[in-house]
Structures are given as structure tokens and as C-alpha cells.
């Protein structure tokens, strides 16, 4: 692979994704390609005793930005968007830049003490669901793609909760409420012309109108909304983007919703390929009409409910179907706190209660064995689907010789030996 001062050449004539034209090659600058020692952050965090120790430990993290959260038994809480962040001008890196002009290179990184962070905020909690980590007053440009919706619902729920228990946090992590739909659904409800729909369309409109905005397993309203919104987005933008390059970003969902809610005559609503001027009602109605064809077909196949429509799967790393679990009956969605999609979702759920004796609960969509022949290969998946958690063993130094320790590993003088590293398995799981 060719390597330039901008980074490795990731896209050349051998790339089939359609990004290269006119024999132009493209290099990619990414902080992951820079040397770093991320093991050190975990080694130091494992020995941290307070906020000061945490603050020093996270400085060792130089990969693309990660959200490093902190909580201690004395009540301190913090979160830092830690990593090497290029100090970019607005828009730098959003589009392909000329590789023959050194002025487009990264000049420096955001100073470590100026990366976004919160420490004991007045609101009483810290959170992250990959929303933008700083407001418009922040002096550095952090890019554009920060979906806001999951962060909004997390903050709303936390702000309203009192005397929170571990069970409350488990319910929060598995919430299927779609706050994006809460924002976007009125566009359909208030503008679709019901009289223009056939009988199936009218039925789906009623289901959409009565939907509670929860992407539950057996919800049909969630399926109607997702399908209708997909067609709506295409109808709004396809005409303007028809002659755009093959590889191009469309506007974010939030941009479309904000644009329409701010102006019902949003300029992209009109189809520029027709003589008439399309209205929001025209496009919203057309979207549900097109969705009705797909919805009717799904209904005939018995796949109209949300979980069956979404078809969440946990795939084997080698994409080996018999070693995967497919079509799991789980709710959620990309805008829900329970962010399960077709092949994405929360890979680790954990709740920790910093009582005098720390208690913790967790689950992940897999099992304790990598052997497909073992009954422990995928023994946690059903619990993960159902939103259940297992108690986790928070080992203390007095439990070094506990029978719960299955085996011991360690490292000395460059080779591994079986001593001083403890593999901890919660006894309630097996």
C-alpha cells in the first residue's frame, strides 16, 4: 500500500466503490494510524483511586475520540471526550481535499486540557449517546455527524428520575422509545391526505396515528413509520441528487426534520423534474402510498411487526450462518436508547451501583465460550434480547483464593505464565 504524508492511499483504481474518478487516488488521514499506547490508560485506570488519578490516566488515550466516563463513591462524576483531536477549521475533512496543497494538512491537535469534558455538572449527571460533546460556544470544530436523538431522550429521562435504583437504570438502557419519531411523526399525521389512500393505506395510516412511539417487538406502527419515512426521505432528495457523484452524503435526518418543521415550504420538497410545485402533503401522502406496497407484502408474509421487519441478527465474526443467531425478537432501533438495528446493537450493557460494597450487573449478546459446540457459546443472547442482567462478581483482594477463580494467568520477562492474573466468572451465570 502506498503511504503519503497525508496517510495511506485507501482508494485507488482497484477499489470498486466508485469513489475514484479520472485516475485520482485518495489518501486517508486518521489518528488510528499514529503510534500510541492505549494499554497504559487501562493499566492506570485499574489502579485509579479518585478523579485526579482518572484525569491523569485518560491522557494516555490518543486513538480517535472516546467517551471516558468516571464515577466514584465520594460522589464525583465526570466525562471526557478524550483522544487526539485535530484542531480543524469549520468543514475541514468533511469533503475530499487536495493532496497537493500542504495548507490542507492538520497543523496541530486540540490541547488535551481543552477537549470537551464535564466534572460534577450542576444537573447532577453525565451522559453520552454519541451526541455532540460540546455546544456552539466551543472554539474548535469537531465535525458534523452527531445524531442528537438518543442523547436527548437519555438526558430527558435522567433529568426526571429521582432516587434511582439499579433496576431503573436497566429499564433505561433497554428503553425502546423512539424520540426521533416523536419529532418527525407530526409531519405525517398533519399532512397525509387520508382521502387519497386506498383501504390498506388508510389502515396503515390509522396504525401510524395511534402508535405510541415505542419500537416494541410487536409494534406495527413502528414498521409503518420506518418504511414511510424511508420513502419520504427519498422523495424529498432523490430529484436533487439524481446527478450527484456516486459516493456522496445526503443531509442528516435531523437536517430534514428541522428544515420542514421550520418551513413547511422547505425548498427540497418540490420535485424539480415535474412541472407542478409539490407540497408537503403531496410528498407525505406519496410516501405512505409507496410504503403501503411493502407493508402489504410484509403483512402477507407475517413480517409486519417491528421485530420481524427489523430482523436483528448477531452474526458470527466469519459470517458463518449456522454459528449466528438471526431474526431475534427484540425491539429498539437506531434512535432508541436500546439501539438495536439489523446487525448493530449494544454489545455490552452494564449497571454499577457504588454502594459501600460495590454491586454490578451486566450482559452481552454472546456467551462464555468461543466453541460453537459448547452450551456456553451463545448462552447470554436470550437474556440480552429480553433485557435481563446477571449479577457480576466484583472481586476483592480477600477473594484471591476463591473457588470462583477458574484459572490464573500472568506475564513475566516477556512470556506468559499461569500466575497473578485472574479470570473472573460470575457464578450465577453458569
Boundaries of domain holding 181: 127-135+146-346
pLDDT in tens, 255-309: 999 999 999 999 999 999 999 999 999 999 999 999 999 999 999 999 999 999 9
pLDDT in tens, 180-194: 999 999 999 999 999
pLDDT in tens, 191-211: 999 999 999 999 999 999 999
Q: Does residue 233 form part of some domain?
A: yes
Q: Does residue 10 form part of some domain?
A: no
Q: The domain that contains 252 carries what CATH number? A: 1.10.1400.10
Residue 412 has pLDDT above 90, yes or no: no
- Average pLDDT score over residue span 210-230: 98
Higher-confidence residue: 426 or 16?
Answer: 16
Residue 137 has pLDDT above 50, yes or no: yes
User: How high is the pLDDT of residue 427?
Assistant: 35
Q: Does residue 8 form part of some domain?
A: no
Residue 17 has pLDDT above 70, yes or no: no
- Average pLDDT score over residue span 218-223: 98
77-82 vs 117-119, strand pairing mode: antiparallel
- When mean pLDDT is compared over 52-66, 239-253, 298-312, the highest value belongs to 298-312
Residue 65 grid coordinates: 475520540
Q: Does residue 180 form part of some domain?
A: yes
Q: Does residue 218 form part of some domain?
A: yes
Q: How confident is the model at residue 116 (pLDDT cuts 50, 70, 90)?
A: very high
Query: In percent, how much of the chain has pLDDT > 70?
Result: 93
Domain count along the chain: 1
- In 165-199, which positions are buried (b, 16+ CB within 10 angstroms) versus exposed (e)? ebeebbebbbbbbbbbbebbbebbeebbeeeebee
Closest to 75 (Cα-Cα) out of 44, 47, 50: 50
**Between 280-300 and 199-210, two packed helices, what is the crossing angle to 10 degrees?**
100
| The model's pTM | 0.89
Query: In percent, how much of the chain has pLDDT > 90?
Result: 70
Higher-confidence residue: 426 or 335?
Answer: 335
Q: Does residue 272 form part of some domain?
A: yes
Q: Does residue 214 form part of some domain?
A: yes
pLDDT in tens, 336-392: 999 999 999 999 999 999 998 999 999 999 998 889 999 999 999 999 999 999 999
**Which residues, in sequence order, are CB contacts of 264 under 8 Å at separation 6+?**
280
In angstroms, how far is CA 149 from the centroid of its own chain?
Answer: 11
pLDDT in tens, 399-411: 888 888 877 776 5
Strands (E), 229-273: none
How far is it, in rounded angstroms, from Cα 81 to Cα 58?
10
Q: Does residue 80 form part of some domain?
A: no
User: How high is the pLDDT of residue 59?
Assistant: 93
Higher-confidence residue: 93 or 110?
Answer: 110
CB 381 within 8 A of CB 325: yes
- The single-letter DSSP state of residue 361 is E
Q: What is the mean pLDDT of the chain?
A: 90
The residue with cell 422509545 is: 177
Amino acid at each position: 500500500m502506498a503511504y503519503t504524508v497525508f496517510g495511506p492511499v485507501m482508494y485507488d483504481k482497484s477499489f470498486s466503490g466508485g469513489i475514484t474518478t479520472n485516475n485520482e487516488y485518495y489518501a486517508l488521514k486518521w489518528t488510528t494510524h499514529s503510534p500510541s499506547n492505549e494499554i497504559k490508560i487501562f493499566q492506570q485506570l485499574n489502579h485509579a483511586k479518585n478523579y485526579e488519578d482518572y484525569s491523569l490516566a485518560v491522557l494516555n488515550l490518543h486513538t480517535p475520540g472516546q467517551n471516558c466516563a468516571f464515577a466514584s463513591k465520594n460522589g464525583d462524576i465526570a466525562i471526557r471526550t478524550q483522544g487526539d483531536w485535530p484542531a480543524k477549521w469549520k468543514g475541514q475533512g468533511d469533503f475530499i481535499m487536495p493532496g497537493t496543497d500542504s495548507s490542507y494538512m492538520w497543523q496541530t491537535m486540540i490541547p488535551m486540557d481543552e477537549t470537551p469534558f464535564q466534572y460534577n455538572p450542576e444537573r447532577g449527571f453525565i451522559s453520552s449517546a454519541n451526541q455532540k460533546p460540546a455546544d456552539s460556544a466551543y472554539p474548535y470544530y469537531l465535525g458534523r455527524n452527531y445524531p442528537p436523538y438518543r442523547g436527548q431522550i437519555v438526558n430527558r429521562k435522567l433529568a426526571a428520575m429521582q432516587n434511582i435504583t439499579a433496576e431503573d437504570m436497566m429499564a433505561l438502557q433497554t428503553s425502546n422509545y423512539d424520540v426521533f419519531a416523536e419529532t418527525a411523526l407530526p409531519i405525517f399525521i398533519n399532512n397525509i391526505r387520508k382521502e387519497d389512500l386506498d383501504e390498506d393505506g388508510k389502515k396503515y395510516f390509522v396504525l401510524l396515528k395511534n402508535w405510541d412511539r415505542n419500537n416494541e417487538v410487536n409494534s406495527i406502527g413502528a414498521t409503518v413509520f420506518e418504511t414511510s419515512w424511508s420513502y419520504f426521505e427519498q422523495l424529498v432528495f432523490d430529484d436533487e441528487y439524481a446527478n450527484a457523484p456516486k459516493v456522496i452524503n445526503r443531509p442528516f435526518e435531523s437536517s430534514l426534520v428541522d428544515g420542514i418543521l421550520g418551513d413547511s415550504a422547505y425548498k427540497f420538497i418540490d420535485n424539480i423534474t415535474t412541472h407542478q410545485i409539490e407540497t408537503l402533503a403531496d410528498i407525505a401522502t406519496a410516501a405512505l402510498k409507496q410504503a403501503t406496497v411493502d407493508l402489504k407484502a410484509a403483512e402477507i408474509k407475517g413480517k409486519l411487526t417491528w421485530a420481524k421487519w427489523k430482523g436483528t441478527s448477531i452474526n458470527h465474526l466469519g459470517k458463518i450462518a449456522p454459528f449466528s443467531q438471526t431474526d431475534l425478537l427484540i425491539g429498539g432501533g437506531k434512535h432508541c436508547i436500546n439501539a438495536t438495528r439489523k446487525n448493530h446493537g449494544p454489545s455490552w450493557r452494564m449497571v454499577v451501583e457504588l454502594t459501600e460494597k460495590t454491586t454490578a450487573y451486566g450482559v452481552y449478546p454472546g456467551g462464555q465460550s468461543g466453541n460453537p459446540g459448547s452450551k456456553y457459546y451463545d448462552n447470554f443472547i436470550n437474556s440480552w434480547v429480553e433485557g435481563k442482567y446477571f449479577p457480576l462478581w466484583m472481586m476483592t483482594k480477600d477473594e484471591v483464593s476463591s473457588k470462583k477463580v477458574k484459572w490464573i494467568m500472568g506475564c513475566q520477562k516477556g512470556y506468559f505464565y499461569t500466575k497473578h492474573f485472574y479470570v473472573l466468572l460470575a457464578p450465577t451465570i453458569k
